[in-house]
Structure 1
Amino acid sequence: MTSFFGSWQLWAILAAVFASLTAIFAKVGVSDIGSDFATFLRTLVVMAVLGMILWATDQYEPLGSISPKSALFLVLSGLATGASWVCYFRALKLGQASQVAPVDKLSVVLVAIFGAVFLGEHLSPTGWFGVSLVGAGAILIAVS
């Protein structure tokens, strides 16, 4: 049995909690500055915190130990993350957090589709129904 701190469910719930706080804090944070500069400052904070975590837990790995495939996909992931953050902060600058965040969660739908198409992952019919409900809910919130 997996320990409480080793369960993906705990970390996924914490990710959701922190993502919700991100939207609220970012909405207030971008009220007086440009969204791109706000994204830059946020990125510096993320880098500093992750650096401290790596240092405190002795998890740093030499860059030479990373395979070319891993390096390529981590760079692509970083570029996608940066693009996502820039777009997210611009959306928060222009719209309501209560509408922007749910539309951003259309990523749940896209991850399910991309996971099935590119990674060969499988969801049950109930899982696909849940994904469709997430998509429908995001759309309903966006148009309300």
Structure 2
Amino acid sequence: MDSNLATAIRTIIVVLLLVPAVVATGQWSNPFSLPPRTLAFLALSAAATGASWLCYFRALQLADVTKVALVDKTSVVLVILFAFVLLGERPSGRDWTAIALVLVGIGMLVLKR
């Protein structure tokens, strides 16, 4: 399946599931009443998500799922590092060990061949 078509179908399904859920829970409000800065960050987040999904589906066409999924999870490591640097969060020693293990796993995949 074409990765762009897969991303479009996935996005349509997400919209069809989320909009009714937001409306049903009474959380819907006019998105244009949000501050411009918030809308800008939401737009950037949406663009990053769309690009990520396109890359993910394209990678699945080119490589094994096990490799693609593990490399995709490096985003978890990045989020933790951003939280450390930007938000001042302090992961525990156990957290840092888990992060290191994910990175070692990715390194093993990269250096395997």
- TM-score under structure 1 normalisation? 0.69
Structure-2 separation of matches of 1:77 and 1:67: 15
Structure-2 separation of matches of 1:44 and 1:64: 21
Q: Map residues 51-66 of structure 1 onto 2, 5 A cutoff.
A: 51-66=19-34
Match of residue 135 from structure 1: 103
8 A Cα contact 1:99 1:142, kept in partner? no
Measured on the aligned residues, the alpha-carbon RMSD in Å equals: 1.7
1:94 to 62, 65, 69: 62
8 A Cα contact 1:103 1:139, kept in partner? no
Contiguous gaps of at least 5 residues in structure 2: none
Cα displacement (A) at 1:50: 0.8
**Matched residue pairs, number?**
112
Cα displacement (A) at 1:82: 0.7
Q: Secondary structure at the match of 1:120?
A: coil
Contiguous gaps of at least 5 residues in structure 1: 1-32
Cα displacement (A) at 1:112: 1.5
Q: Identity of aligned pairs, percent?
A: 44
Structure-2 separation of matches of 1:81 and 1:71: 15
- TM-score under structure 2 normalisation? 0.86
Displacement over 4 Å in runs of 4+: 141-144
